[in-house]
Amino acid sequence: METYIIEWLSLIFRWLHVITGVAWIGASFYFVWLDNSLQNPPQWKKDKGIKGDLWAIHGGGIYEVAKYRLQPEKMPETLHWFKWEAYTTWITGMLLLAIIYYLGADSYLIDKRVADLSQLQAIALGLGIILGSWVIYELLCSSQLAKNGLVISALLILFATTIAFLLTQLFSGRGAYIHFGAVIGTLMAGNVFRVIIPGQKALVAAIIEGKEPEAKWAEKAKLHSTHNTYLTLPLLFIMISNHYPITYDHNFNWLILLAITAITAIARQFFILKHKGLHKPSILIVSAMATLALAILIAPKQIMPSVTVKNIDKSQLTVQVLSIIKERCATCHAKSPTDEVFSVAPGGVALETMDDIHQWAPQINARSVQSHNMPFMNKTGMTQEERNTVARWLELKDQAGN
Ligand code: HEC
């Protein structure tokens, strides 16, 4: 019953997280586009204090959008603010992290092969790293070092590398990735909360009081919104990364995480330049080539089972494979799993009969032979010899063409 309730909570918060995330990133994409696409307005608009404007069509109507250099002649009665998209995405994300990775720490966060942590230790480390990263980031960005673009960029890259490495030395691959995402999400929501919104409040207050707004706010807001812009695509990758053990389960998962973060951040640059009317497809080509290079570099080595498994006849092998899969996989992958954590077959994949094994053969090959991603954290203790046996059977099956 308890796992059933947790499944529902996870479903609801994941759904809300996606909805609010779409609203936040959608608004962010729109405003980055808007800001970069503004055109030089005619003189009569400039006289009114308009810095740039543009025309757009959407949903059956034509829109005229204008950005003021500072303030309009009269402050409008209603001014729309964009902040709750960010806050609710962060809140639902943290709840989801708690439901899946903290309540279910023993299954999803702790990997005894990486570090032998207790549930409490894992949660404390996870939350500590998220909060600690935010504090360090804030200190770095408000220090003198932030004045020099190159220095601050180098420091932030070093900082990200340390966090990625540290996380993968503490948690399961997917737990490490999702924490890296939680760190990025926290920095981004924190930027909205601590810098962007207070900056906007200071601007409105100055306008109402008829004073010059302080320049420091504009500078800070610019630095932090730039970070948010480049972090959106990496964050979106991390949100879906738990589907891709080819990335998080690799021995060099922390380097892969950093590489994908860099590739996706660079890809964002293409769109930013494009909004400004600069077409630089070379940027996207570089990102695509880097992705291809990464895919080739981290490809699992082809296993050569024939060498390691004694040549026994196929029917004997089939009996062995069925018993291996039943013992090592069906505790979770069954209509009624006996595992204490998984109450329904993960991914809807049941592995109880020879028919099941035939149906899922390519996936079994990918996740238990070519990679050692299954059994989940090798909970059932599958041996290399057993993997070789399964590999040999799969090979014979392929040769027989069935
Ligand atoms: C302790 C429980 C457990 C055991 C044992 C286990 N798995 Fe899994 N399996 C999971 C979980 C949880 C997922 C979903 C998360 C994921 O995809 O990484 C999963 C996902 C999968 C998937 C992907 C399903 C999809 O979404 O398409 C395959 C294939 C798979 N397992 C095969 C196996 C094989 C083969 C074995 C035995 C060698 C095995 N598993 C043993 C828990 C387990």
Question: Do both 195 and 249 map to the same domain?
Answer: yes
Question: Do both 142 and 243 map to the same domain?
Answer: yes
What atom in ligand 1 is closest to the CA of residue 364? 35
Q: How far is the CA of 345 from the centre of ligand 1 (A)?
A: 8
Question: Do both 289 and 329 map to the same domain?
Answer: no
pLDDT of amino acid 310: 61
Q: How far is the CA of 330 from the centre of ligand 1 (A)?
A: 9
Ranking 304-318, 341-355, 378-392 by mean pLDDT, the lowest is 304-318
The Cα–Cα gap between 395 and 399 comes to 6
Predicted structure pTM score? 0.88
Question: Do both 291 and 395 map to the same domain?
Answer: no
**Does any domain span residue 14?**
no
pLDDT tens for each residue of 73-89: 888 889 999 999 999 99
Q: What is residue 65's three-state secondary structure?
A: strand
Task: Say how many Å lie between the first and final Cα of the chain, rounded.
Answer: 41
- Location of structure tokens 């995480």: 257
**Does any domain span residue 143?**
yes
DSSP track, 74-128: S--S------HHHHHHHHHHHHHHIIIIITTIIIII--TTT----HHHHHHHHHH
pLDDT of amino acid 126: 98
Domains identified in the chain, total number: 2
Q: Which domain holds residue 366?
A: 305-400
- Asked whether the beta carbons of 137 and 159 are under 8 A apart, the reply is yes
pLDDT exceeds cutoff 60 at 125: yes
Phi, psi of 64 (to 5 degrees): -115, 120
Which is more confidently placed, 314 or 227? 227
pLDDT tens for each residue of 149-176: 899 999 999 999 999 999 999 999 999 9
Q: Is 375 in the pocket of ligand 1 (CB under 6 A)?
A: yes
What atom in ligand 1 is closest to the CA of residue 337? 2
Tokens of 357: 């094994």
pLDDT exceeds cutoff 90 at 140: yes
Of 142, 177, 140, the closest CA to residue 157 belongs to 140
**Does any domain span residue 7?**
no
Ranking 176-180, 211-215, 245-249, 253-257 by mean pLDDT, the lowest is 211-215
Furthest CA-CA distance within the chain: 89
